Amino acid sequence: MVQGAANWNTEITEDWLQNYVDDWVSFYRKQTSEGEVASYIPILKEANQDHLGITILGNNGMTINSGDVDVPFTIQSISKVLSFIVGCMERGVSYMLDRVDVEPTGEAFNSIMHLEMRQLKKPFNPFINAGAITVCSILDGKTSDEKLEPLFELLEKMLGYRPALNVDVYESERDSSMRNRAIGYYLLETGYLESDLNITLETYFKQCSIEVTVEDLAKIGMILANDGEDPNSRDELIPRQVARLAKALMLTCGMYDASGKFAAYVGVPAKSGVSGGIIAVSPPRVREEELPFIDGCGIGVFGPALDDKGNSIAGIKLLRHIAKQWDLSIF
Ligand code: DON
C-alpha cells in the first residue's frame, strides 16, 4: 500500500491528504536552495527562491492548498497552452496544425539554431518560443489587446475573475527581449508570421505577463482534466478535441527538453514557465484500489528556484513524489 493512499479501513479525507502534502512541501522546500531563480528577465530575479506552494483541486470537490499559495506570479510559458487553445478555437485545429507542428525539439525553448539547421516548414510545436510567437501572429485582432481579449475571456470563464497583466514584468520582458526579437525576425523572414512583427511580439510578452496563483493553475488543470468541460457548471469551455490536443502537447513538449523525463517519472500532461509555475493535469483514472483524486484533478505548483532546464526544481520533485505516492500516472 502506498503512503498517502487508502486501505480497506482508511477513508480518504481532505485532512488526511492535507497532512501528507504539508509534510512533502516542507521537505521539498529545503531543496529550493539547489536551484536558481530566472535572471535573464531582470524583474524575475526579485522572486523569493524559497517559495514553494501547491493547490490540488479534485473533481470530487476536494481541495488541498499547501505552502506559498497566496503568492501571485506571472504565467510565463504556461500561457502558450492557452494561446494555442484560443488559436484552435478561432481558426480550427487543422489551420493551426498547418502552421505549427506537434513534435518535441529536445532543444531549449528559445533555441534559434534548430530553426535554421533543420530547415523547418513550420515551428516544431506551439510551446517553444518560435511556435508561440507564430501562434500570437495568428490570433485574431489588429492590436495586441484585441488579440488577447479572447484569451482573457476564456480565463475569466475558467477562473471566475479576470486576471491582471503585471505591467512591470511586461516592461522588463519587453526591454530584455533580444532573443525573442531575433526569433521574430527569423520567422518574419521565413514567412511564418501572419501579423505585424511588433504587434505579434507585444502580444507574446503580454500573454507571458498575466498574473496568476497556484489555485488558478489548478482550476485550468481541472478543466483540461475534464476534456475542456467545467466540472461545476458542466459548460464546455474548450472543445473536447482541442483540450485533448493541448494535453498531448503538454505531455510531449510541456516541460522543455525535460519533457521525456517528466512523462517517464511523473506521467501526467504538464506545462512549466520560467517564473516557477507548473500546471499539471491528472485525468480520471481506473484502478482497482481506491486512490486519492481517482476522479481526476488539476494541480498548480509555484517554486521560482529553477533547475538547469528552466523548470521549478522543488516543484518537479514535489509532483514526482505525489504522482508516485498516489499513482497519478496516466500510463
Ligand atoms: O520567452 C520568454 O523568455 C518568456 N517570457 C517565457 C519563457 C518561459 O516561461 C519558458 N518558455 N517555454
What atom of ligand 1 comes closest to residue 41's alpha carbon? 3
Number of folded domains that form the chain: 2
Q: Is 257 in the pocket of ligand 1 (CB under 6 A)?
A: no
Q: Answer for the pair 135, 148: CB distance below 8 angstroms, yes or no.
A: no
Cell numbers that stand for 46 in this block: 526579485
Is 226 one of the annotated binding-site residues?
no
CA-nearest residue, atom 4 of ligand 1? 76
Pair (220, 308) in one structural domain = yes
Please choose from 75, 83, 129, 308 the residue to mutate so as to test ligand 1's pocket, defined by most ligand atoms within 8 A of CB: 129
- Domain C-terminal end among 161, 176, 208: 208
Residue 6 lies in a domain: no
The three-class DSSP label of residue 279 is: strand
Residue 267 lies in a domain: yes
Pair (264, 160) in one structural domain = no
The interface pTM score, or ipTM, of the predicted complex is 0.95
Residue whose entry in the numeric block shows the C-alpha cell 511523473: 266
Residue 28 lies in a domain: yes
First to last CA, the chain: 19
Query: For the chain, which ranges sit under pLDDT 70?
Result: 1-10, 118-120
Is 180 one of the annotated binding-site residues?
yes
Query: What's the confidence (pLDDT) of residue 289?
Result: 84
Pair (91, 193) in one structural domain = yes
Pair (180, 137) in one structural domain = yes
Pair (82, 202) in one structural domain = yes
b/e code 288-304 from CB counts within 10 Å (16+ = b):
eeebbbbbbbbbbbbbb
Residue 238 lies in a domain: yes
Q: Please list the residues that pair with 272 across neighbouring strands.
A: 278
Query: What's the confidence (pLDDT) of residue 9?
Result: 47
What atom of ligand 1 comes closest to residue 76's alpha carbon? 9
Query: What's the confidence (pLDDT) of residue 106?
Result: 74
Q: Is 109 in the pocket of ligand 1 (CB under 6 A)?
A: yes
Give the residue numbers annotated as catalytic, written as ranges: 77, 80, 204, 256, 274
Is 274 one of the annotated binding-site residues?
yes
Rg (CA), the chain: 19
Residue 8 lies in a domain: no
DSSP 236: B
CA of 162 to the centre of ligand 1 (A): 22
Cell numbers that stand for 300 in this block: 498548480
Q: Answer for the pair 108, 147: CB distance below 8 angstroms, yes or no.
A: no
Cell numbers that stand for 163 in this block: 486576471
Nearest CA among 305, 38, 302 for reference residue 169: 38
The CATH code of the domain that includes 136 is 3.40.710.10
Pair (57, 88) in one structural domain = no
Query: Is 8 exposed, middle or buried, given 0-12, 13-18 or 19+ CB atoms closer than 10 A?
Result: exposed
- Domain C-terminal end among 208, 236, 262: 208
In sequence order, what are the residues at sequence separation of 6 or more whose Cβ sits closer than 8 angstroms to the Cβ of residue 189? Answer: none
What residue numbers bound the domain in which 240 lies? 14-71+213-326
Q: Please list the residues that pair with 65 across neighbouring strands.
A: 55
Pair (183, 88) in one structural domain = yes
Pair (189, 100) in one structural domain = yes
CA of 113 to the centre of ligand 1 (A): 17
Q: Is 187 in the pocket of ligand 1 (CB under 6 A)?
A: no
Pair (198, 218) in one structural domain = no
Is 173 one of the annotated binding-site residues?
yes
Pair (315, 258) in one structural domain = yes
Can you list the positions of beta strands (E) in 179-254? Answer: 211-212
Q: Is 73 in the pocket of ligand 1 (CB under 6 A)?
A: no
In sequence order, what are the residues at sequence separation of 6 or more whose Cβ sits closer than 8 angstroms to the Cβ of residue 174? Answer: 201, 202, 205
Residue 1 lies in a domain: no
Pair (202, 265) in one structural domain = no
Query: What's the confidence (pLDDT) of residue 146?
Result: 98
Do strands 53-58 and 211-212 pair parallel, antiparallel, or not at all (unpaired)?
Answer: unpaired
Q: Is 226 in the pocket of ligand 1 (CB under 6 A)?
A: no
